[in-house]
Structure 1
């Protein structure tokens, strides 16, 4: 895998999207104290051991090229951690991959998620164009109206309802964005 992908950093206005670092552990644990995040994310981070594991999974994903997770840092707020965006499983020749994100409680409602997701989307389509990436999917449970708004603001149009399946108790939405900017 290209070393540039392993160390890629992105910018979106005052936001810096960079690889996660061991020094991010306290801010990561604090972010996961938010009940809204705990209710919507599969992997939980409640202590240093879980945070270390969470960070290790992200590092291994970058090294293998299967998962690119970026810490979203707001440079206007003294380099405060405000979120995470990720590209999951960009398999060569598959044509599609999945994106995901979360924002800290303090960062919500400030347009951070759409800006960060937009930067990730542009990077993914450019970085993986040679592998045939043409579609990115964003998935969320039907009761997560905020994620629907973020998807729409980021150019991810509603594509379909997905039936509930473990570990998710509710049906979900799949939003999609095509490399050309279209929606499927």
Structure 2
């Protein structure tokens, strides 16, 4: 698999067209800026405080593409011409392995992108890509986990047809509070 996968999401009346592509070093400044948001920091397990943290994070995403076990996409507002596309968020497919029937998805959105339908649309594009790309490897379902009190993530899961499955007990330090497991099967 190459890190040159680019997914396009059409505009809607309320939301811009999106481009999902692997992270690159040119994204570091926007990544650091997005991570200044206390709301984002509350729900993510990775801290990106400065350019060095951002560069390490982007490099880790690039290594994971090479290892073919984690596929993280920068979500950008589609632009035409020389204007640099604005970073809106991240979607990720993780824990992918041949013969393994399940993988996990995750996402976050920058403050300025929230409430614009970015997360469900990007998650839908990632979901379709994952099932199309890894069906032959045995992928049958995708799992979405979020903290129980993250109501926005619960709404994104529901909009993206990830059915609520169960409450998961807290598992500190990565998951300090109880969580929700949502599942989407390939045939959904």
Match of 2:36 in 1: 33
Match of 1:170 in 2: 177
- The TM-score normalised by the length of structure 1 is 0.94
Match of 1:15 in 2: 18
Aligned with residue 53 of structure 1, among 29, 51, 56: 56
Report matched runs for 1:22-101 at 5 Å: 22-75=25-78, 79-101=85-107
Residue 89 (structure 1) shift: 1.3
Instruction: Map Cα deviations across residues 117-166 of structure 1 (whole Å, 9 max, x no partner).
Output: 00000000000001000100000000000000000000101000000001
Aligned length: 178
Could you say what secondary structure the match of 2:139 adopts?
coil
Unmatched segments (≥5 aa) in structure 1: none
Residue 174 (structure 1) shift: 0.4
Aligned with residue 137 of structure 1, among 126, 143, 147: 143
Match of 2:14 in 1: none
- Range 74-83 or range 135-144, more displaced: 74-83
Match of 1:160 in 2: 166
Question: Which runs of 4 or more aligned residues in structure 1 lie more than 2 Å from their structure 2 counterparts after TM superposition?
Answer: none
Match of 1:147 in 2: 153
- The TM-score normalised by the length of structure 2 is 0.92
Which structure features the higher share of helix residues? 1
Unmatched segments (≥5 aa) in structure 2: 11-16
Aligned CA RMSD, in angstroms, stands at 1.1
Q: Hey, what's the Cα distance between the residues in 2 that align with 1:97 and 1:16? A: 22
Could you say what secondary structure the match of 1:11 adopts?
strand
